[in-house]
Structure 1
Amino acid sequence: MKPILIAPICLTALLAGCADIGADVDPILDGAPRAQFQSDLAACRSLARNQSQLDHETMAAAAIGAGLGGVLGKVDEEGDALGGAIVGALAGAAAGASEAADTREDIVLNCLRGRGHAVVN
């Protein structure tokens, strides 16, 4: 397989593996859950899942990682620019996906708070 094709395939697999991360948070409540808690939790998780994993920030992080990795790969005597760019893109995309997961978790918790549930975390 050509090295040029490896990066997009790996990036797609990485983002697919992180598809529900963050949205599946199990919130800690201060007190007993109210009757509608489970339906509100499902609705808030659905709202969080609609937050795109492949947003502009994730793509920018992947591009920056590819650029830095390519430069570092070119500078290294035994490395190559393409290999460095691939590794850098994957690292940048992973960082962006992690940020998106944190955003999804915040969406779920804030949504529950907005619906009147005493969410601690």
Structure 2
Amino acid sequence: MLRFKVLAAVPLLCLLPACENSGSKYTPIIDGAVGPNYSNDLAYCQALASQQGTFSNNTAATAATGAAAAGGTTAVLNNKGTNVRDAALVGAVAGVAVGALQQQQNKESIIKNCMRGRGYRVVG
């Protein structure tokens, strides 16, 4: 039962970085002075990025790949009862976490490109 509780905490730990300055809440680093429209431009770009979902279209495939890789490796190397099932679960959770993190990076790219399109020199 302890193992299940630990596994349940993994997705929460992986999503913690999404709370601060990432994804659709990302604030890019601008080189140079910002004009009076900066706040409005940033809000528009963040709203545009937030229209993207939490997960990308590839998240399910990433989860399935993680489950298959972890389950298959465990079946070959250490096939003892529920080890394969547990490994597949961990692989699927890792795949979902990777998919969510990739989507957060996509949102940051949307904001950067949007701000560049409005004339800002985005450096990070």
Could you say which residue in structure 2 is the equivalent of 1:62?
63
Residue matched to 2:115:
112
**Following TM superposition, by how much is the alpha carbon of 1:16 offset from its aligned partner in structure 2, in angstroms?**
6.7
SS at match of 1:118: coil
Unaligned runs of 5+ in 1: 2-6
Matches of 2:41 and 2:29, distance apart in 1: 14
CA RMSD of aligned residues (A): 2.8
Give the aligned partner of residue 71 of structure 1. Answer: 72
Deviations 1:61-114 (A, max 9, x none): 011001111112322144621101100001111111121111111000100111
Separation of aligned partners in 2, 1:10 and 1:74? 25
Q: 1:77 to 1:63 in 2, by over 3 A?
A: closer
Q: For 1:2-17, what aligned pairs fall within 5 Å after superposition?
A: none
Q: Report the TM-score when normalising by structure 2.
A: 0.76
Identity rate, percent:
37
How many pairs align? 117
Q: Which residue of 2 aligns with 1:85?
A: 88
What is the one-letter code of the residue matched to 1:23?
Answer: S
- Where in structure 2 are there 5+ consecutive unaligned residues? 2-6
Cα deviations across residues 34-72 of structure 1 (Å, max 9, x unaligned)?
111101101111111111222221111011001111112
The 1:59/1:18 distance shift into structure 2, 3 A limit, reads farther
Task: Tell me the TM-score normalized by structure 1.
Answer: 0.78
